[in-house]
Amino acid sequence: MDTATHLVMGITLGGMATLDPVIAQSDIGSQAVMLTSIIGSNIPDIDTVLKLRNNAKYIRNHRGITHSIPAVILWTLLVSGLAFLIFPTSPYLHILLWSFIAVFLHVFVDIFNAYGTQALRPFTKKWVALGVINTFDVVIFLIHSLAVAVIAIGANKGFTALSAYILTVIYYMGRIAMRRNIESIVRKRFDNVEQVVISPTYRFYHYHLAIVTDKYFYVARFHRGSIMTHDKFERIPLPENPVIQTALKDENISAFLSFSPVYRWDLFEFDDHYEVRFIDLRYRSKNYYPFVAIVQIDKQLNIVSSYTGWIFSEEKLRKKLQLIPH
């Protein structure tokens, strides 16, 4: 979920907390719980600062350990402790409870988009990405923004916020039903389907699909009951040759592979170097696959340059990294 939506959901959560009788009868408690709801609804995304270091660190760690089970507990204690320091007369146990709800809700809603989280760490590092909600869902954002606006003009905080969350749950149920319907249609149309990666868009009836069968990758889209196939790639296992083995040692390649569940690869040989590319098949945009990892290796099997991230043209990629020209 995007930062703006986490923010407005934090505000409405703070409003809903006033339905708690202990919070409702304490002005200090209401202020404290609003603070914890807003901070708690956003603090797991503090790992966004990793983007300042490099894309590999960001891709490998964003929504990773900061969204794990131990992190939820840690964030809850930190946020509630901060609120108690600022509002020492607030009812701490209730602040602790609503802090936990805020942090947990952040992680919980994040598992419903295609990016997902490593929410089950430390038990597993598997990415949990249900592919139900777009990273920015305009419906959810508008529901909670409208609730915030209505509260601002004097409506009851608790029941207005509760209504927003009820509408959100209903909307999620509709999206979940749609996702199940899409997967059912895919499995009927394609043979020997092993995995269906569904990426929602902002439109309720439009989804991007990456379909894995026993022999092929299919890149398609679903629109109002119909599936249109854009690309079909043969599934070819990575060869165990020295070039590939060298590529797999690169930080950018390793980060990409730790995150991407459906990708194709290419190996090119030039006069003085090799180039290995990994292309994520989930994010097709205007006939282009922008999420990639690339490494260039000289003939002595030394890594010359590499990159992972979002890039929308070959020219920008080579200009950005000053890669070896072909």
Three-state secondary structure along 280-304?
A: ECCCCECCECCEEEEEEEECCCCEE
Report which of 211, 213, 209 is spatially closest to residue 191, judged by C-alpha positions.
213
Report yes or no: 199 and 186 within 8 Å, Cβ to Cβ. Answer: no
What is the identity of the amino acid at 230? H
- Kindly report the number of other CB atoms within 10 A of residue 126's CB atom: 12
**Total residue length of the chain:** 326
What are 105-147's pLDDT values in tens digits? 999 999 998 878 888 888 888 888 888 998 899 999 999 999 9
Report yes or no: 207 and 200 within 8 Å, Cβ to Cβ. Answer: yes
Rounded distance between C-alpha atoms, residue 190 and residue 213, angstroms:
8
Rounded distance between C-alpha atoms, residue 82 and residue 60, angstroms:
29
What are 24-64's pLDDT values in tens digits? 998 999 999 999 999 999 999 887 766 656 677 777 667 78
Confidence of residue 153 (pLDDT cuts 50, 70, 90): very high
Distance linking the first and last C-alpha atoms of the chain: 39
Q: Please, which residues have CB within 8 angstroms of residue 283's CB and are 6 or more apart in sequence?
A: 199, 208, 289, 290, 291
29 three-state secondary structure: helix
Average pLDDT for the chain: 89
Report yes or no: 230 and 220 within 8 Å, Cβ to Cβ. Answer: yes
Angle at 27 (CA atoms; ends 22, 28), nearest 5 degrees: 90
At 151, list the tokens: 């509260």
List strand residue ranges (DSSP E) for 73-223, in order: 193-200, 206-213, 216-223
274 three-state secondary structure: strand
Report yes or no: 223 and 206 within 8 Å, Cβ to Cβ. Answer: yes
Q: Which helix (H) or strand (E) covers residue 261, if one does?
A: none
Q: Does the pLDDT at position 310 exceed 90?
A: no
Confidence of residue 260 (pLDDT cuts 50, 70, 90): confident
Q: Would you state the pLDDT for residue 321?
A: 58
Confidence of residue 319 (pLDDT cuts 50, 70, 90): low
